Amino acid sequence: METANHGPWDGITRRGGRKVAIIGAGNVGATTAYALVLSGLCSEIVVVDIDAARAEGEAMDLAQSVPFGMPVRVRAGTYRDIGGAHVTVITAGANQRPGESRTDLLLRNWGVFKDVIPKVAEANPEGIIVIATNPVDVLTFGAWGLTNLPRGKVIGSGTILDTARFRSHLASHFRVDARSVHAYIIGEHGDTEVPVWSRASISGMTLHEFGAAQGREHDQAALDAIYERTRTAAAEIIGRKGATFYAVAAGILRLLEAILRDQETVLPVSCVLHGQYGLHGVALSLPAVIDNAGVREHLAVPLDPHEVELLHASAATIRKSIERILE
């Protein structure tokens, strides 16, 4: 029988696959686990929650979906059971309330992290940690400070979802497949996020060039509206249904796929910076190469001066919140 102790850490379970732990069995955690069950990315999923009965119920429900997907062992557990996980996903924390900014969540969720992260680091000292709890940039910085891990192994989901929303809205505007749109949102996952208009392209053409090829006149007001819809998307959803979790889980799954399959994929994730664009002492999202060790490197994407200015302003906003948790 398989036990909770798997020997020296290498992220491999005895069944020869990858093990993933999820801390927090709420909407985001359970939906992420469900997506993992159907994906075939791992062979073991451990769900941990302060409400043990909730974790057990979710694990039982998820396990009963396995016959319709790929073989995977799903179980509830404690922190002792996450040893050997290649990745631990942190979704624990308070939900964002209607009308509540991400920064308003900070002190409530930082209290949760001060309890959770040391337990994760002790039980699985070499595993990658993915942060999905908001405000994700501040909590990514804080979580890194509570571990002895390299910067690249504490990764916030960051602007993965913002970037997907941005590309989707641009695709609808230009009437193309979103997969043909290359554009990024960087900086804070929140109100000061930065659209990188200067590098946005469709099929190798700038947005202006592509629009001209379609016979369109440049419509800056429409593009500004796309950015605003991207920035406020979460609030729009929360106002209608109280929470967001399907698309969030899909973004987490994409990050896990890049890690577990060693894809060397470029994704905009949050990580503690060490000099990129002259920024230090802050975590925010930049395009980064993701492999099975986490963030391998950040890409120095050329930005125009205004975008650099906005990125520094975004970093300053995050840094103010970091100062609050360091008080």
Question: Residue 144 pLDDT more than 80?
Answer: yes
Mean pLDDT computed over 143-168: 97
189 is catalytic: yes
Residues with Cβ within 8 Å of residue 179, at least 6 apart in sequence: none
pLDDT band of residue 141 (cuts 50, 70, 90) is very high
Q: Give the pLDDT confidence of 246-281 residue by residue, as tens digits.
A: 999 999 999 999 999 999 999 999 999 999 999 999
Give all domains of the chain, ordered by start, each with its CATH number.
Answer: 19-156 (3.40.50.720), 160-326 (3.90.110.10)
Question: Residue 4 pLDDT more than 50?
Answer: no
Residues with Cβ within 8 Å of residue 184, at least 6 apart in sequence: 159, 163, 166, 195, 196, 199, 200, 268, 287, 301
The pLDDT value given to residue 97: 72
Active-site residue, selected from the candidate residues 173, 189, 208, 280:
189
The pLDDT value given to residue 300: 86
pLDDT band of residue 104 (cuts 50, 70, 90) is confident
Q: Give the pLDDT confidence of 213-249 residue by residue, as tens digits.
A: 999 988 999 999 999 999 999 989 988 998 899 999 9
Cβ atoms within 10 Å, residue 50: 13
The pLDDT value given to residue 95: 74
Cα-flanking dihedrals φ and ψ of residue 263, to 5°? -85, -15
Report yes or no: 18 and 6 within 8 Å, Cβ to Cβ: no
Q: Give the pLDDT confidence of 156-207 residue by residue, as tens digits.
A: 999 999 999 999 999 999 999 999 999 999 999 999 999 999 999 999 999 9
